[in-house]
Amino acid sequence: MSKRLIISLVISLLAHLLLLLGMILAYSFDSVAVPRDKVAPNIRAVAVDGAAIKQRKEVKKTPQKTPPKAQDDKAKLRKQQEERKRQQQIAEEKKRKAAEAKKQADAKKKQAEEAKRQKELAEQKKRDEAERKKREQALAEQRQREEELLAEQMAAEQQAMAAEREAVLSEVEIYKTRIEARIRQYWNQPEFQGECTFNIRLGPGGILLSYQELAEKGNRYCDSAERAVAKAAPFPMSKNPAVIDELRSLNILLRPKQDIN
């Protein structure tokens, strides 16, 4: 509270006190008390000043006016209060706007961070997809190389097997020729024409396990051939197991050499 306002309030209070004191004094002088010993019994008289009563009534009816200075102080105080209230409202509005701006800034920042995160995720996903395709391509190429290598190996193995088989059959033919030649050493060929086919079963070392006449052309052409087969054993035999397997059972055609084309 300002000093000027305090002075105005003190002056107003003193004025009211003075007014009240005057009213009390006026009432005291206008009232006249009559002594009891000079007045008849049961009679009490009071002298009243009509003018004073009328004046007091007018004073009571007249409203008390606030001094102009006090009114100015109250107006200033009211303005100050209103100004403080307005400043408070302005401050609150600024605070609200600042909070709203901060909220919007935080939301934009969060949105930007989320957009950045989504972008990074998309880029990472793109990199992962590229890496996955690269790995798949590498695996596909590796499988293709393995398949090609396997095909080459199989082809090489088949070629080797074919070459080995060819070599075995070639050696089998050589030993069949040797076996036939050994039989001819012990065969007294008949003078008449004919031919005879035998199935010979051989064991390890070329031993003769069994033989069987399969076909004969000519009258008893195979008799001498049969005796020659029995005398020629054991027969030449290869040490190659594959050749031995082929020679375990073979057919031998015996006929005069001049008939062999």
Residue 136 lies in a domain: no
Q: Is the pLDDT of residue 128 over 90?
A: yes
Residue 147 lies in a domain: no
Domain edge (last residue) among 65, 90, 118: 65
Query: Considering its fold, how many domains does the chain have in total?
Result: 2
Domain extent at residue 235: 170-259
Give me the percent of the chain exceeding a pLDDT of 90: 30
For residue 80, being part of any structural domain is answered with no
Owner of token pair 């051939």? 225
Q: What is the pLDDT of residues 48-70, one digit of tens each?
A: 455 555 556 555 555 555 567 77
Answer with the residue of higher pLDDT: 124 or 224: 124
Asked if the structure places residue 93 within a domain, the reply is: no
Q: How far apart are CA 134 and CA 157, in angstroms?
A: 34
What's the N-to-C CA distance of the chain in angstroms? 151
- Kindly state the tokens that stand for 152: 């080459």
For residue range 192-210, what is the model confidence (pLDDT) as tens digits? Answer: 777 888 899 998 888 999 9
Give a yes or no: residue 71 inside a domain. Answer: no
- Model confidence at 40: pLDDT above 60: no
The radius of gyration of the chain's CA atoms, rounded to the nearest angstrom, is 75
Question: What is the tens place of the pLDDT at every residue in 134-164?
Answer: 999 999 999 999 999 999 988 998 888 898 8
Query: Which of the pair, 240 or 255, is modelled with greater confidence?
Result: 240
Question: For the purposes of burial, counting CB atoms within 10 Å of the CB of 228, is it exposed (0-12), middle (13-18) or buried (19 or more)?
Answer: buried
Residue finishing a domain among 13, 32, 65: 65
Q: Please tell me the distance from the alpha carbon of residue 20 to that of residue 26, in angstroms, as a whole number.
A: 10
The answer to whether position 72 is within a domain reads: no
27 contact partners, CB below 8 Å, separation of at least 6: 52, 56
- Which CATH number goes with the domain that contains 197? 3.30.1150.10
How many angstroms separate the CA atoms of 12 and 156, rounded?
A: 131
Of 20, 42, 65, at which residue does a domain stop?
Answer: 65
The mean pLDDT of 205-216, rounded to a whole number, is: 86
β-bridge mates for residue 212, sequence order: 199
